[in-house]
């Protein structure tokens, strides 16, 4: 039996590769789920076929979109924080106030709260990896066979070739149409300045081609899609189990893995505190970079020893368009990212800077209310909101802080301690980016509102990993090309824990492709075809 630890996107992608190779698989997971009452409310809304009914009846309780935490609020799922809840028997996590690092014990992991944005990694952004973008390319295409990729050919295609399997794109709102039209009218000037743009690429089954009811543009994406058209690996898990050959066991927290000559022994604890163990022909660790790092440190006996998680720094700022769209608060549109911009500028380093641009959503409206306070009544809200776009930006890990991570024995339990290691380049590079965009205000017909810039705590963007990076000739603290930690032969780490660096472009698609690659190759190791 092959065991996969974790049901997030990487774990499900790896399990799918193993199952496709005919290997029996069991997925071990804590498996928290949305509360029954909230799930019932979501299910009822999913059967409404009218935009107004969903917008009027949605009621997942207070704080249905965001939970105030740090510089950038934390996104909830249908008003619930269940994706972030600690599982019984799990180690404590202690982190400094300038960090906001999240793991997940939910079924489907953090894909329950992501925004569905997907882009592959460019070769120039992973030049320090022991594998290439070309090595990953066929696995991006294999992942796209079960991951909906809503996209269209545009200016981004020569930087990020489209997958062979595509879903029809989502339509964008009037604000985004106006913005993209300005970009297209000035494409030559923007490209000459190293600015490339196009429609967002999203893991969304917008038209219900996979058997679900189509999107009706109810604008509830940030609350949680009532029809669950945004991909979550929870759906992929259900599909795998229904096909047969893959079993799922929830209610367990894996603590460590030890290796014998012909098997791996997985030590875990059930939710009721009962110790349990599983003997695996091969074990595949996909608990997410935070929890996978903890399991590896314990398995290797590396207490009081720091390893470093690499982060892609996350930041937010508004763009104010020269002219606005009317009635955006009542427009029927999706509220995920609608436009991608990629910045290639030697002054910002030799790596891509990735920007995701959002049109009107109730998050933007709340942020505006918060900033204006009592002055809100003096501003024509509709007109201002019709001009306001929100930009989420990401830097490459080489320009971002790292996170020193160490495991410590504390009585009967362990504690994972996280501390930020500052990168002096981070803020100057972000300010240089805003200056560059300000200089391009005329061709964009929009300018960045620099005073409203928010630089999030390290880890907040969920794009982190690399504590046990892959190396062609690995030593202690590294993994080989199949994710095996130094000294192990039957344990494979398949999530972003093994990334040597973190590109600014979205992490989930590459995590799934690399996990599929490792699973597909490792399935044949015991037959002697690979070493």
Cβ atoms of residues 467 and 294 within 8 Å: no
Give the least confident one: 193-207, 285-299, 367-381, 404-418. Answer: 367-381
Supply the pLDDT for residue 386. Answer: 84
Strand partners, 391: 317, 357
Supply the pLDDT for residue 368. Answer: 60
Comparing C-alpha atoms, which of 211, 293, 214 is closest to residue 5? Answer: 293
Residue 70 has pLDDT above 90, yes or no: no
Q: Is 252 part of any domain?
A: yes
Across all residues in the chain, what is the average pLDDT? 90
Cβ atoms of residues 117 and 506 within 8 Å: yes
Q: In whole angstroms, what is the distance from residue 145 CA to residue 141 CA?
A: 7
Q: In whole angstroms, what is the distance from residue 504 CA to residue 395 CA?
A: 5
Cβ atoms of residues 89 and 30 within 8 Å: no
**Three-class DSSP category at 413:** strand
Element (H, E) at 342: strand 339-343
Supply the pLDDT for residue 62. Answer: 41
> Cβ atoms within 10 A of the Cβ of 142, count?
22
For the record, the structure tokens of 290 come out as: 């935070």
Q: Is 475 part of any domain?
A: yes
Residue 63 has pLDDT above 50, yes or no: no
Q: What is the CATH number of the domain that holds 494?
A: 3.50.50.60
Q: Is 335 part of any domain?
A: yes
DSSP assigned state of 339: E
Supply the pLDDT for residue 58. Answer: 57
For the record, the structure tokens of 411 come out as: 């009585």
In the block, residue with structure tokens 């098997």: 263
Comparing C-alpha atoms, which of 523, 519, 520, 474 is closest to residue 500? Answer: 474
Q: What is the largest CA-CA distance in the chain?
A: 73
Residue 370 has pLDDT above 70, yes or no: no
Which residue spans within 188-243 are E strands per DSSP?
195-199
Residue ranges in 244-348 assigned as alpha helix (H): 289-299
Q: Which residues of 220-237 are buried (b: 16+ CB within 10 A; e: fewer)?
A: bbbbbbbbbbbbbbbbbb
If you average pLDDT over residues 352-376, what whole number do you get? 73
Residues 6+ apart with CB under 8 A from 111: 8, 9, 231, 232, 233, 234, 508
Supply the pLDDT for residue 375. Answer: 46
Rounded to an integer, what is the distance from CA 325 to the centroid of its chain? 30
| 512, 515, 517, 519: CA torsion to nearest 10 | -130
Domain count, the chain: 1
| 125, 128, 130, 134: CA torsion to nearest 10 | 20
Supply the pLDDT for residue 374. Answer: 54
Cβ atoms of residues 406 and 85 within 8 Å: no
Containing structural domain, residue 64 = 2-526
Which tops the pLDDT comparison, 9 or 64? Answer: 9
Comparing C-alpha atoms, which of 5, 131, 1, 7 is closest to residue 492? Answer: 5
Q: In whole angstroms, what is the distance from residue 397 CA to residue 508 CA?
A: 15
Q: Is 232 part of any domain?
A: yes
Supply the pLDDT for residue 52. Answer: 60
Which tops the pLDDT comparison, 231 or 208? Answer: 231
Conformation bin of residue 271: beta by default, left when phi > 0, alpha when psi is -120 to 50: alpha
Cβ atoms of residues 263 and 43 within 8 Å: no
Q: In whole angstroms, what is the distance from residue 165 CA to residue 16 CA?
A: 17
If you average pLDDT over residues 112-117, what whole number do you get? 95
Supply the pLDDT for residue 380. Answer: 52
Rounded to 5°, angle at Cα 223 from 218 and 224: 80
Q: Is 260 part of any domain?
A: yes
pLDDT band at 44 (very low <50, low <70, confident <90, very high): confident
Q: Is 278 part of any domain?
A: yes
Residue ranges in 47-171 assigned as alpha helix (H): 51-57, 133-143
What pLDDT, in 10s, does the model give residues 429-441?
A: 999 999 999 999 9
Which tops the pLDDT comparison, 125 or 526? Answer: 125
Give the least confident one: 217-221, 261-265, 391-395. Answer: 217-221
What pLDDT, in 10s, does the model give residues 16-42?
A: 999 999 999 999 999 999 999 999 988
DSSP assigned state of 167: B
Handedness of CA 158, 164, 167, 168 (dihedral sign): positive
> Cβ atoms within 10 A of the Cβ of 431, count?
13
Residues 6+ apart with CB under 8 A from 479: 468, 469, 470, 471, 485, 486, 493, 498
pLDDT band at 82 (very low <50, low <70, confident <90, very high): very high
Q: Is 531 part of any domain?
A: no
Q: Is 483 part of any domain?
A: yes
Q: At 251, phi and psi to the nearest 5?
A: 80, 20
Residues 6+ apart with CB under 8 A from 247: 24, 25, 26, 27, 241
State what percent of residues in the chain have pLDDT above 90.
Answer: 73
What pLDDT, in 10s, does the model give residues 283-325?
A: 999 999 999 999 999 999 999 999 999 999 999 999 999 998 8
Supply the pLDDT for residue 220. Answer: 85
């Amino acid at each position: 039996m092959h065991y996969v630890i974790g049901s997030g996107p990487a774990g499900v992608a790896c399990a799918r590769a193993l199952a496709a190779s005919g290997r029996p698989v069991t997925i071990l997971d804590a498996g928290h789920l949305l509360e029954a009452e909230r799930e019932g409310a979501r299910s009822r809304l999913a059967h409404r076929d009218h935009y107004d009914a969903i917008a009027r009846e949605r009621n997942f309780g207070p704080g249905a979109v965001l939970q105030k935490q740090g510089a950038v609020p934390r996104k909830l799922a249908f008003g619930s924080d269940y994706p972030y809840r600690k599982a019984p028997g799990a180690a404590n996590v202690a982190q400094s106030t300038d960090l906001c690092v999240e793991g997940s014990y939910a079924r489907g992991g953090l894909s329950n709260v992501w925004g569905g944005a997907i882009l592959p990694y460019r070769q120039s952004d992973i030049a320090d990896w022991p594998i290439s973008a070309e090595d990953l390319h066929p696995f991006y295409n294999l992942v796209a066979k079960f991951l909906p990729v809503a996209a269209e050919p545009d200016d981004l295609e020569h930087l990020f070739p489209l997958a062979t399997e595509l879903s029809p794109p989502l339509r964008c709102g009037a604000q985004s149409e106006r913005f993209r039209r300005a970009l297209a009218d000035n494409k030559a000037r923007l490209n000459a300045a190293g600015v490339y743009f196009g429609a967002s690429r999203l893991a969304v089954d917008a038209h219900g081609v996979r058997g679900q009811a189509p999107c009706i543009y109810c604008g509830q994406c940030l609350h949680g899609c009532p029809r669950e058209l945004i991909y979550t690996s929870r759906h992929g898990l259900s599909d795998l189990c229904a096909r047969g050959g893959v079993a799922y066991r929830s209610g367990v927290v894996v603590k460590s893995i030890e290796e014998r000559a012909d098997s791996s022994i997985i030590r875990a604890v059930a939710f009721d505190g009962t110790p349990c163990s599983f003997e695996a022909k091969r074990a595949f660790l996909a608990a997410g970079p935070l929890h996978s790092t903890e399991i590896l440190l314990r398995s290797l006996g590396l207490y009081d020893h720091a390893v470093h998680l690499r982060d892609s720094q996350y930041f937010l700022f508004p763009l104010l368009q020269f002219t606005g769209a009317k009635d955006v608060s009542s427009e029927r549109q999706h509220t995920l990212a609608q436009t991608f911009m990629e910045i290639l500028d030697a002054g910002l380093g030799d790596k891509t800077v990735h920007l995701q641009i959002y049109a009107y959503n109730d998050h933007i409206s709340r942020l505006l209310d918060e900033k204006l306070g009592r002055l809100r009544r003096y501003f024509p809200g509709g007109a201002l909101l019709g001009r306001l776009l929100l930009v989420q930006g990401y830097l490459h890990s080489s320009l971002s802080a790292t996170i020193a991570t160490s495991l410590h024995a504390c009585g009967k339990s362990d504690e994972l301690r996280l501390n930020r290691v500052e990168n002096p380049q981070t803020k100057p590079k972000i300010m240089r980016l805003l200056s560059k965009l300000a200089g391009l205000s005329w061709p964009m017909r929009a300018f960045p509102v620099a005073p409203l810039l928010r630089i999030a705590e390290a880890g907040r963007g969920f794009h982190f990993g690399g504590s046990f990076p892959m190396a062609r000739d690995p030593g202690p603290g590294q993994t080989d090309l199949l994710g095996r930690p130094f000294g192990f032969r039957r344990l494979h780490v398949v999530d972003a824990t093994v990334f040597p660096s973190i590109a600014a472009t979205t992490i989930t698609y590459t995590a799934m492709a690399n996990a599929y690659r490792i699973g597909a190759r490792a399935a044949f190791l015991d037959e002697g075809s690979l070493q």
